[in-house]
């Protein structure tokens, strides 16, 4: 049997076969813009399934083999085993300096193991990746490996402090960098990484300014970080360190890591940043450097595979509701009022779907994963007309990546190679205006675009907790000697995952999932196809 880590092309073929067999639909056409990336290998295809890797093996599995499940599990555990510094070096661990219980307000971490009791995570501790057993491939949101939807346990490594560590804390220089767009909670994660590093006994902590750019731009100095510096940064949104897209080459970044004598790099960012972090990890490995690269997934879009959610997403949804509420009030106070709110979500509709669900004020939710037509019978405009005639008002929530096929395409990309999208909100506003003018029905249309407002704010309570745990676990992962990994929550448990597994495909809303169906129930919208 071929390994599950076979190429993405084989993977796509397998997935297409799978889709024919199980009547899944592949939305690959909607993700063509990802091909414009400089490193398209990791981000080529989209999928509805949560654990794509398991599905991908299907065409290569002989289900008549009585051991097929065991084979999958073996492949799975190989695929999810965490890269470690000792894969290339011969390092001896030492007892940890971290204690889950401090003796003083800030434990100095002088190199002694102060608490020999429990509280540490064993390298063989595992969390279950999937907890649903489907009866049939046609069950809502089903992810099945074989036609009988057999149960195949898949375990991933638990995050947390280990009893043995691979660095002398007092000798460590640790760096933190924040890349991509802003996201609520970046400062909470930075703060927590610094506090946890200090708890281990690290004295030399720096911030790299403005994303990967800060590694190589001579005008951007390293920012020294300590608990005094980060104490209150979580009270504000944004990133203390600044963010950016684009930047220097991987080898230039690794040259800089070497020149700056950095031992640990904590990289906060989305799927692009993680692809970069993994490339940096590989380059460090190639050069046999004792440097650990740890990712912390940041994206309000929530488009990272395998994780329950990424930090900032909850806050973005909460903020989005303010815009929806304003649109609702405007629409309901006007004669034949129509409110349109456009929310972020370049290639997925999680924010739009969750904000629609949580507000309960949305009549039509449009996301990139679900094609819709505007004109004609069963079109959005016809339904809108019906809502105005029967209810007198309507509110639409549209994700920025939705309906891109209606807009003229440009090949423009941002500095990171992400496609620049057309403005679907403005387009909808114009089309609706024209439609009601043509049918001679008055309509008062208000368009709200809260794009940057939903991400330039501080994290809400639930995101702040998530950030705190992610920041702490990132540091534990680095001291445990892992590299090229990221940390997140799977089925409520904090785990470590190899970076390639979480960025193999951008996560997207499954139109066959219970969540999307719940959204449809809540809005009452018909199928616009």
Ligand X SMILES: Nc1ncnc2c1ncn2[C@@H]1O[C@H](COP(=O)(O)OP(=O)(O)OP(=O)(O)O)[C@@H](O)[C@H]1O
* Euclidean distance between CA atoms 374 and 406, whole angstroms: 9
Interface of this chain with ligand X, residues 263 to 282, rule: CB under 6 A: 269-273, 275-276, 279
Q: What angle do CA 20, 365, 416 make, to 5 degrees?
A: 75
Quick note: the x/- pattern for ligand F6P over 375-414, rule CB under 6 A, is -------------------------x-------------x
Among the residue ranges 60-68, 135-143, 272-280, 288-296, the one whose residues contact Mg ion (CB under 5 A): 272-280
When CB distances to Mg ion are compared, the closest residue is 270
Q: What is the DSSP string of 398-454?
A: EETTTTGGGSPP---B-TTSPBPPP-HHHHHHHHHHHHHHHHT---EEEEE--GGGG
| Binding at 33: pick from ligand X, ligand F6P, Mg ion, none (beta carbon under 5-8 Å per type) | none
Is residue 291 within the footprint of ligand F6P (CB under 6 A)? no
Q: Residue 472 in 3-state DSSP? A: helix
Q: How many residues bind ligand X (CB under 6 A)?
A: 23
Checking 261-264 for CB contacts under 8 A at 24+ apart, the result is 261/173, 262/173, 262/174, 262/175, 262/206, 262/291, 263/167, 263/171, 263/172, 263/173, 263/174, 263/290, 263/291, 263/292, 264/167, 264/172, 264/173, 264/174, 264/175, 264/291, 264/292, 264/294, 264/478
Cα-based distances in Å from 173 to 110, 161, 274:
16, 19, 21
Least Å distance, CB 469 to ligand F6P, is 21
Is residue 344 within the footprint of ligand F6P (CB under 6 A)? yes
Interface of this chain with ligand F6P, residues 257 to 286, rule: CB under 6 A: 270
Q: Residue 386 in 3-state DSSP? A: helix
Among the residue ranges 39-47, 191-199, 344-352, 425-433, the one whose residues contact ligand F6P (CB under 6 A): 344-352
* Euclidean distance between CA atoms 287 and 257, whole angstroms: 12
Is residue 345 within the footprint of ligand F6P (CB under 6 A)? yes
Q: Name which of 516, 522, 526 is nearest 353 in CA terms.
A: 516
Residues contacting residue 512 through CB under 8 Å, at least 6 positions apart:
24, 48, 140, 141, 142
Candidates 201, 207, 270, 403: give the one binding Mg ion (CB under 5 A). 270
Candidates 207, 211, 272, 484: give the one binding Mg ion (CB under 5 A). 272
Least Å distance, CB 274 to ligand X, is 7
Contact 387, 523 (CB under 8 A): no
> For residue 194, which phi and psi values (nearest 5 degrees)?
-65, -50
Interface of this chain with ligand X, residues 410 to 439, rule: CB under 6 A: 416, 418
Least Å distance, CB 400 to ligand F6P, is 6
Please give the structure tokens belonging to residue 105: 């307000």
Candidates 274, 346, 354, 435: give the one binding ligand F6P (CB under 6 A). 346
Please give the structure tokens belonging to residue 500: 């390639």
| Binding at 121: pick from ligand F6P, Mg ion, ligand X, none (beta carbon under 5-8 Å per type) | none
Q: What is the DSSP string of 269-308?
A: E-HHHHHHHHHHHHHHHHTT---EEEEEEB-TT---TT-S
Please give the structure tokens belonging to residue 143: 């992810």
Is residue 271 within the footprint of Mg ion (CB under 5 A)? yes
Q: Which of 75, 301, 314, 463 is catalytic?
A: 301
The CA radius of gyration of the chain, in Å to the nearest whole number, is 24
Binding-site residue ranges for substrate: 299-301, 344-346, 400, 452-455
Candidates 109, 137, 161, 181: give the one binding ligand F6P (CB under 6 A). 181
Q: Name which of 384, 390, 395, 391 is nearest 431 in CA terms.
A: 384
Please give the structure tokens belonging to residue 158: 């638990």
| Binding at 345: pick from ligand X, Mg ion, ligand F6P, none (beta carbon under 5-8 Å per type) | ligand F6P
Among the residue ranges 260-268, 339-347, 390-398, 505-513, the one whose residues contact ligand F6P (CB under 6 A): 339-347
Is residue 455 within the footprint of ligand X (CB under 6 A)? no
Is residue 188 within the footprint of ligand F6P (CB under 6 A)? no
Q: Among all chains, which residue has been given the structure tokens 């005639």? A: 389
Mark whether 301 is an active-site residue.
yes
Among the residue ranges 8-16, 70-78, 192-200, 299-307, the one whose residues contact ligand F6P (CB under 6 A): 299-307
Nearer to Mg ion, 44 or 58 (CB): 44
Nearer to ligand X, 245 or 354 (CB): 245
Nearer to Mg ion, 244 or 271 (CB): 271
Is residue 349 within the footprint of ligand X (CB under 6 A)? no
Binding-site residue ranges: 181, 245-246, 270-273, 299-301, 344-346, 400, 452-455
Catalytic residues: 301
Using CB under 6 A as the criterion, which residues of the chain lie in contact with ligand F6P when the complex forms? 180-181, 270, 299-301, 344-346, 400, 414
Using CB under 5 A as the criterion, which residues of the chain lie in contact with Mg ion when the complex forms? 270-272
């Amino acid at each position: 049997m071929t390994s599950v880590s076979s190429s993405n092309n084989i993977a796509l073929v397998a997935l297409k076969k799978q889709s024919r067999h199980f009547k899944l639909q592949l939305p690959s056409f909607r993700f063509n813009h990802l091909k414009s990336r400089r490193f398209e290998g990791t981000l080529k295809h989209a999928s509805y399934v949560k654990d794509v890797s398991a599905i991908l093996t299907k065409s290569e599995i002989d289900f008549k083999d009585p051991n097929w499940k065991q084979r999958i599990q073996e492949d799975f555990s190989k695929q999810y085993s965490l890269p470690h510094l000792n894969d290339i070096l011969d390092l001896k661990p030492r007892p940890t300096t971290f204690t889950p219980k401090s003796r003083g307000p800030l434990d100095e971490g002088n190199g002694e193991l102060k608490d020999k009791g429990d509280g540490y995570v064993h390298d063989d501790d595992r969390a279950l990746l999937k907890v649903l057993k489907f009866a049939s491939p046609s069950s809502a949101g089903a992810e099945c490996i074989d036609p009988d939807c057999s149960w195949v346990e898949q375990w991933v490594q638990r995050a947390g402090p280990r009893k043995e560590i691979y660095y002398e804390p007092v000798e460590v220089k640790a760096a933190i960098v924040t890349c991509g767009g802003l996201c609520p909670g970046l400062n909470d994660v930075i703060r927590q990484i610094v506090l946890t590093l200090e708890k281990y006994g690290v004295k030399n902590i720096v911030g790299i300014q403005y994303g990967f750019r800060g590694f190589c731009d001579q005008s951007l100095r390293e920012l020294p970080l300590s608990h005094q510096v980060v104490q209150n940064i979580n009270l504000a949104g944004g990133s203390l360190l600044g963010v950016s897209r684009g930047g220097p080459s991987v080898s230039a970044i690794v040259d800089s890591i070497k020149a700056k004598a950095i031992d640990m790099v904590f990289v906060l960012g989305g799927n692009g940043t993680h692809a970069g972090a993994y490339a940096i990890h590989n380059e460090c490995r190639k050069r046999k450097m004792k440097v650990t690269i740890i990712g912390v997934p940041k994206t309000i879009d929530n488009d990272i595979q395998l994780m329950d959610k990424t930090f900032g997403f909850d806050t973005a949804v909460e903020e989005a509701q303010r815009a929806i509420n304003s649109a609702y009030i405007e629409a309901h106070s006007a004669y034949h009022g129509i409110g349109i709110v456009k929310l972020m979500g370049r290639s997925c509709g999680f924010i739009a779907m969750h904000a629609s669900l949580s507000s309960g004020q949305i009549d039509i939710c449009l996301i990139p994963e679900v094609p819709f037509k505007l004109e004609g019978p069963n079109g959005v405009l016809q339904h809108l007309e019906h809502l105005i005639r029967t209810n007198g008002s309507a509110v639409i929530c549209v994700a920025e990546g939705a309906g891109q096929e209606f807009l003229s395409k440009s090949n423009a990309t941002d500095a990171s190679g992400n496609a620049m999208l057309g403005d679907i909100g403005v387009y909808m506003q114009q089309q609706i205006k024209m439609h009601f003018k043509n049918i001679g029905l008055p309509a008062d249309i208000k368009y709200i675009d809260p794009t940057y407002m939903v991400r330039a704010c501080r994290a809400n309570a639930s995101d702040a907790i998530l950030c705190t745990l992610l920041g702490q676990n990132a540091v534990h992962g680095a001291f445990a000697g892992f590299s090229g990994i990221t940390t997140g929550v799977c089925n409520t448990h904090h785990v470590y995952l190899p970076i390639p597994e979480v960025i193999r495909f951008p996560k997207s809303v499954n139109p066959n999932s219970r969540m999307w169906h719940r959204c449809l129930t809540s809005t009452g919208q018909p199928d616009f196809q």
